[in-house]
Amino acid sequence: MVRPFQFSRLPKIFFKNGAIAELPSMIERFGKRIVLVTGKYSFLQSGKSEKLLSGFQVKGIIYRIISIPGEPSPEIIDNTVRNLQGERIDVIIGIGGGSVLDAGKAISAMMNRPESVTEFLEGVGLREHPGTKVPYIAIPTTSGTGSEATKNAVISEIGKNGFKKSLRHDNFVPDIALVDPELTLPCPPDITAASGMDCFTQLTEAYLSGNSSEYSDALALTGLREIKTSLLRCYTTGDDIVARSGMSFAALTSGICLANAGLGAVHGFASSIGGMFNIPHGLICGTLMASANEINVRELRRTKVNPVALKKYANLGELFLDEKGRTDDYLIDGFIQFLYKLTDELNLPGFKRYGIEEKDLELICKNTDIKNNPVKLDAEDLAKILLKRL
């Protein structure tokens, strides 16, 4: 029998090599006045930008550019919104990595609102956002967070009492996700590896989540097939457009899956560690992927509380190992070994390099929420996951 489920709205998705050329025409249905949100190493410095900006001029589109230097903080969002106050803006366009897309999403949601974004952040503020926003177009230039398809924007305040929390509403799913794999070609290997592992983690955690559905499972497996064929290829051969296209698809799909199924322990850590230390989100995910799944499997086998999740781990083993006729236990163990091997192949560093020490683990574990993980983990289990990757 089909399990009961809900599935959120999707953006209008345009997925095509070279799709960026169609942006000026897409904008016209919203109006003529736009804000372009970009990153520090901006798309606007690339060769493709001149063509795009002259396309805006031809169409009479008036644009303003806002550059977001890193992961968006409440201060950056509040200041940007204040600076735009009183201006008529027909559509906001985020073009960049996950941080830029989240920043654009948050700015579109906070336009015309007097409050600080902090007041609406989950677990930080006390107010419910009504879901009002300026239309938003998300254009990823990395393959990772899938923010182009999600209903949340992650906002960070990094420090001892820092946080990494979401501004979330069904209406915040972008109106358009323009996915042009060619835009990811210049992405350097370290960012390709980290963002790719973020995407891999999101697909895996959504697939294993107790909140998954027939729809999200089918999509997650489709995305994971692309991870298998494309992730390492993108890392070693950045100009392989077939592999880049596979990862763009996987990232978009991971966003759809996480918005509908939730995430597990690795993303719990990404939130707690990411609030306390300045470490890129994808790197936290990639570094912890193998050890977190190893402990999940150990606890699933010991407690026997969730045979469905163990079966799913065996399915992942079958997918990534390409071996037929093996037992479930063989496939599960093989999947965990595959993850450790991939961690080495992608040169993902341990946490010591970022200043995390053993004495920090207790507080990290205390701040880690793993609500959609396939099995309960106690503080000792969580510490073990981290210790393996210090």
- Minimal distance, residue 197 CB to Fe ion, in Å: 9
- Minimal distance, residue 254 CB to Fe ion, in Å: 8
Site string for Fe ion, 295-334 (x = CB under 5 A): ----------------------------------------
Q: Return the bridge partners of 84, or none.
A: none
- Minimal distance, residue 265 CB to Fe ion, in Å: 12
- Minimal distance, residue 339 CB to Fe ion, in Å: 16
Residue closest to Fe ion (Cβ) = 198
Q: Give the nearer residue to Fe ion in terms of CB position, either 80 or 293.
A: 293
Q: How many residues bind Fe ion (CB under 5 A)?
A: 1
- Minimal distance, residue 366 CB to Fe ion, in Å: 21
Q: Give the nearer residue to Fe ion in terms of CB position, either 101 or 178.
A: 101
Q: Give the nearer residue to Fe ion in terms of CB position, either 147 or 230.
A: 147
198 binds Fe ion (CB under 5 A): yes
Residue span binding Fe ion (CB under 5 A) among the ranges 31-39, 68-76, 197-205, 243-251: 197-205
Helix (H) or strand (E) holding 39: strand 33-39
Work out the number of other CB atoms within 10 angstroms of the CB of residue 239.
9
- The two beta strands, 136-140 and 152-157, are unpaired
- Minimal distance, residue 202 CB to Fe ion, in Å: 5
Work out the number of other CB atoms within 10 angstroms of the CB of residue 329.
14
Q: Give the nearer residue to Fe ion in terms of CB position, either 198 or 333.
A: 198
Q: Give the nearer residue to Fe ion in terms of CB position, either 118 or 145.
A: 145
Contact 247, 231 (CB under 8 A): yes
- Minimal distance, residue 87 CB to Fe ion, in Å: 32
Q: Give the nearer residue to Fe ion in terms of CB position, either 48 or 151.
A: 151
- Minimal distance, residue 301 CB to Fe ion, in Å: 26
Residues 6+ apart with CB under 8 A from 374: 208, 209, 210, 264, 296, 300, 306, 309, 312
- Considering only residues 20 to 49 of the shown chain, the ones binding Fe ion according to CB under 5 A are none
b (16+ CB within 10 A) / e for 84-121: beeeebbbbbbbbbbbbbbbbbbbbbbbeeeebbbbbb
Encoded tokens for 223 = 């995305």
CB hemisphere CA count around 49 (13 angstroms): 13
Distance CA 308, CA 175 (A): 35
102 binds Fe ion (CB under 5 A): no
Site string for Fe ion, 145-184 (x = CB under 5 A): ----------------------------------------
Contact 27, 93 (CB under 8 A): yes
- Minimal distance, residue 324 CB to Fe ion, in Å: 32
Distance CA 92, CA 87 (A): 12
Residue span binding Fe ion (CB under 5 A) among the ranges 32-40, 49-57, 190-198, 324-332: 190-198
Residue span binding Fe ion (CB under 5 A) among the ranges 22-30, 71-79, 191-199, 365-373: 191-199
- Minimal distance, residue 269 CB to Fe ion, in Å: 11
Q: Give the residue ranges of DSSP H helices in 304-327.
A: 307-321
Q: Give the nearer residue to Fe ion in terms of CB position, either 148 or 198.
A: 198
Residue span binding Fe ion (CB under 5 A) among the ranges 23-31, 194-202, 217-225, 290-298: 194-202
Residue span binding Fe ion (CB under 5 A) among the ranges 21-29, 46-54, 108-116, 195-203: 195-203
Closest CA to 276 of 191, 377, 356, 389: 356
Residues 6+ apart with CB under 8 A from 155: 72, 73, 74, 77, 102, 106, 117, 118, 121, 164, 165, 166, 167
Helix (H) or strand (E) holding 288: helix 281-303
Residue span binding Fe ion (CB under 5 A) among the ranges 198-206, 242-250, 348-356, 371-379: 198-206
Q: Counting every residue, how long is the chain? A: 390
Kindly list the residues in this chain that would bind Fe ion in the complex (CB under 5 A): 198
